[in-house]
């Protein structure tokens, strides 16, 4: 599975990953970011998620586009034993793309084209 972060240069994009627990036991996961640009991605709500029985859990991933080149990382969700039940390890590919560039500010300058 792939999660795309697209937006303007210097924009902060937040994505939420919804996880469903179909079992009758609580599932618990540890989230880890790995890869070339993993430091540019963050988990603002922490790196653990508990999903109650037959409910949904949410993992929030935040990314600020700092460079024109695409950023890449992998989100690993590793199961912790909760209530004696262990879920499957899940991986998600995180990719970014710059859609437009907006200037922070504009500066007007007046200068002669040349001097003798």
Per-residue pLDDT reduced to its tens digit, 81-97: 766 677 889 999 999 99
- Do 63 and 85 meet the contact criterion of CB atoms below 8 Å apart? no
Tracing tokens 């084209």 back to the chain, one arrives at: 113
What is the SS3 string spanning 84-96?
CECCCCEEEEEEE
- Structural domain tally of the chain? 1
Residue 107 lies in a domain: no
Q: What pLDDT is stored for residue 64 in this prediction?
A: 93
Chunk the chain into consecutive blocks of 10 residues (it has 116) and report each block's average pLDDT, rounded to whole numbers: 91 94 89 94 93 92 93 94 77 94 84 78
Domain containing residue 72: CATH number: 2.60.40.10
Q: What pLDDT is stored for residue 106 in this prediction?
A: 87
Give the CA distances from residue 32 to residues 22, 69, 79, 80, in Å, rounded to whole numbers and listed in that order.
Answer: 23, 23, 11, 13
Q: What pLDDT is stored for residue 30 in this prediction?
A: 94
Residue 108 lies in a domain: no
Q: Look up the domain containing 33 and give its range.
A: 2-99
89: nearest Cα among 108, 101, 76, 99: 76
Residue 113 lies in a domain: no
Q: What pLDDT is stored for residue 83 in this prediction?
A: 66
Collapsed DSSP state (helix, strand, coil) of residue 105: coil
pTM exceeding 0.95: no
- Strand residue runs (E) in the chain: 2-8, 12-20, 27-34, 41-42, 48-51, 56-64, 72-80, 90-100
94: nearest Cα among 10, 8, 13, 9: 13
């Amino acid at each position: 599975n792939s999660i795309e972060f697209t937006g303007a240069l210097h924009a902060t994009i937040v994505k939420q990953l919804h996880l469903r627990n179909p079992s009758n036991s609580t599932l618990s996961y540890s989230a880890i970011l790995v890869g070339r640009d993993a430091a540019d991605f963050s988990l603002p709500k922490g790196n653990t998620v508990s999903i109650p029985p037959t409910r949904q859990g949410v993992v929030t991933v935040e990314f600020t586009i700092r460079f024109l080149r695409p950023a890449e990382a992998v989100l690993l969700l590793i199961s912790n034993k909760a209530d004696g039940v262990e879920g499957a390890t899940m991986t998600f590919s995180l990719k970014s793309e710059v859609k437009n560039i907006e200037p922070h500010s504009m500066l007007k300058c007046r200068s002669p084209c040349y001097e003798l």
